[in-house]
Amino acid sequence: MTDNNIDGKVVIITGASSGIGESTAKLLASRGAKVVLGARRDDKLQQVVSDITNDGGHAIAHALDVAVQADNDAIVRLALETYGRLDAIFLNAGLMPSSPISALKTDEWHRMVDVNITGVLNGVAAVLPTFIEQKSGHVLATSSVAGLKAYPNGAVYGGTKWFVREFMEVLRMESAMEGTNIRTATLYPAAINTELLDTITDPGAAEGMQALYEQYGIAPERIAEVVAFALNLPADTTVNEFTVGPANQPW
């Protein structure tokens, strides 16, 4: 399969300042995509844009809190105003402050819901009018293997990722029924070496997760390749789910 279906596409990527988002942005840009990058850390975003443009790619960035609908609307407008079209959005922003329920870290629970659930809803709400009008578009989202099975310390995080699974699947089905040709791809990564562990404040959960990732973790570029594969598929084909992780991890 060639890269012809990526070349020239305009793709919004959230959570693009590091990890999977940054790796995906750089890979897609290297294959001819025009990437529109969003995250809260504008300084890191601008560095990613600089890296891409210095390599001859096309990239712009917009400071973005996915939990704020207006921010999502603004990055869609930026993509359309700058590049004149929008082909895909990769909803990748996420938090994973794992902890046992009994620790009652309720502030972290609500922040996970804000970013991992509301952020996905806001991103879809921002792009859907454009995708429906043009009768094409691709929505990709990062769930987790914790969105496929339950794990101790992951009740709320896993719950948010189960939501992504359900929402994306219904979006795919309804789009097919409505004839809008909107495709979806939900990714379920296992241990991928990103900054995700930095948000864990519970000492026991942090220690256990750190040991797990040190043993099994693989590079975020592996997930970027899967995103590129999904975006490169012909317009009449969708692969709606990808479970991806280290070959030696028994997730």
Give catalytic residues, as residue numbers: 157
Distance CA 179, CA 67 (A): 29
Region label for 153, one of left (φ > 0), alpha (ψ between -120 and 50) or beta (otherwise): left
Query: Whole-angstrom distance between the N-terminal and C-terminal Cα of the chain?
Result: 30
Using an 8 Å Cβ cutoff, are 217 and 192 in contact? Answer: yes
The token pair at 18 is 């590091």
Residue 1's CB is within 10 A of a number of other CB atoms, namely 8
Largest CA distance in the chain: 51
DSSP-H helix ranges across the chain: 19-30, 42-54, 69-83, 106-112, 119-134, 155-178, 203-216, 221-232
Residue 68's CB is within 10 A of a number of other CB atoms, namely 14
